[in-house]
């Protein structure tokens, strides 16, 4: 029996790559995005894919998309936005917009899919896309870091509430990815070189890296993984002490 998956924010970047890899793995793909032209193009490039034009924050639109596509075996909450400003300059409109897309969207879509899975007795998987900014906040990222931290906690709450129904919920926290929202930042050659050099793996991440992690969490190979935040960052969040050297003359300390 063919499995199905809905990917939000599937019109470009990481979401589009997840949709492509899901199709390659044999999933019937529901590509959901507010950008109708982009999602139509992605759907047309994949076998048996269905374009779902909707905002992930609009519960009525999400329900209509589910009516059209059917209850999926997996959901990937990928849609996200960022507004770069210092908190002291961050407008309430920008704050609310980021919270709405990054946090309310995964709640709205996750709730809608979970309700249907539970009503139909269907087991499945939900993967929320978080960020290393939800672990280590980035300066001048406004509401982005707080929302991504909240997505990680929302994932855990979904997992403990829906796990008994056979619904596994996990999150993936991408690091510095050479695609999607990071593309404009990495277009600066100096920034690109610095970020690559400061990543322990000495390279930037790719949409492929994230899609592979997502597809693993959706697979039966991860059937006992629930409530987990999988960090895919080449080691970036482990480097907090790397820039704080100690004198080379000190080779040991006893208290």
CA distances from 169 to 22, 53, 133, 172 (A): 17, 24, 20, 10
Catalytic site residue 144? yes
Q: How many Cβ atoms are within 10 Å of 84's Cβ, its own excluded?
A: 14
Q: What is the structure's pLDDT at 181?
A: 77
d(CA 229, CA 68): 31
d(CA 253, CA 248): 13
Q: What is the structure's pLDDT at 242?
A: 78
Instruction: With beta carbons less than 8 A apart as the criterion, state whether 195 and 204 touch.
Output: yes
Q: What is the structure's pLDDT at 243?
A: 74
Q: Report whether pLDDT(209) > 80.
A: yes
φ/ψ of residue 77, rounded to 5: -90, 95
pLDDT band at 253 (very low <50, low <70, confident <90, very high): confident
**254 or 229, higher pLDDT:** 229
The model's pLDDT over 33-89, given as tens digits with 9 standing for 90+, comes to 999 999 999 999 999 899 999 999 999 999 999 999 999 999 999 999 999 999 999
Quote the tokens at residue 200. 């322990």
User: 3-class DSSP state for residue 3?
Assistant: coil
Q: What is the structure's pLDDT at 254?
A: 76
Q: Is the pTM of this model over 0.75?
A: yes
pLDDT band at 223 (very low <50, low <70, confident <90, very high): very high
The DSSP output letter for 141 is B
Quote the tokens at residue 123. 């087991």
Closest CA relative to residue 133, chosen from 93, 92, 80: 80
Residue from 144, 159, 205, 222 carrying the catalytic annotation: 144
Sorted by sequence, the CB contacts under 8 Å of residue 128 that are 6+ apart come out as 77, 106, 110, 151, 152, 154, 155, 158, 169, 170, 171, 172
Instruction: With beta carbons less than 8 A apart as the criterion, state whether 168 and 223 touch.
Output: yes
φ/ψ of residue 143, rounded to 5: -80, -5
Q: How many Cβ atoms are within 10 Å of 131's Cβ, its own excluded?
A: 28
Q: Which domains does the chain have, with CATH numbers?
A: 4-176+207-234 (3.40.50.720)
pLDDT band at 244 (very low <50, low <70, confident <90, very high): confident
Q: Report whether pLDDT(255) > 90.
A: no
């Amino acid at each position: 029996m063919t499995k199905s998956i809905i990917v939000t924010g599937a019109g470009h970047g990481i979401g589009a790559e997840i949709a492509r890899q899901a199709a390659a793995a044999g999933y019937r793909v529901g590509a959901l995005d507010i950008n109708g032209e982009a999602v139509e193009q992605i759907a047309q490039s994949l076998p048996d894919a269905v374009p779902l034009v909707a905002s992930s924050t609009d519960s009525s639109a999400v329900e209509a998309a589910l009516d059209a596509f059917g209850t999926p075996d997996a959901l990937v909450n990928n849609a996200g936005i960022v507004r770069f400003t210092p908190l002291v300059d961050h407008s309430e409109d920008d704050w609310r917009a980021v919270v709405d897309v990054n946090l309310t969207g995964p709640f709205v879509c996750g709730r809608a899919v979970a309700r249907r899975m539970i009503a139909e007795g269907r087991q499945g998987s939900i993967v929320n896309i978080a960020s290393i900014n939800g672990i280590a906040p980035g300066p001048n990222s406004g509401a982005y870091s707080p929302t991504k931290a909240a997505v990680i906690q929302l994932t855990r709450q979904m997992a403990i509430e829906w796990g008994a129904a056979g619904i596994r919920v996990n999150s993936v926290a991408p690091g510095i990815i050479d695609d999607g929202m990071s593309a404009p930042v990495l277009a600066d050659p100096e920034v690109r070189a610095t970020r690559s050099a400061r990543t322990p793996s000495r390279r930037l991440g790719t949409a492929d890296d994230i899609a592979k992690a997502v597809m693993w969490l959706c697979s039966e190979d991860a059937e006992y993984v629930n409530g987990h935040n999988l960090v895919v960052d080449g080691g970036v969040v482990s480097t907090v002490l790397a820039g704080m050297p100690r004198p080379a003359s000190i080779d040991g300390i006893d208290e």
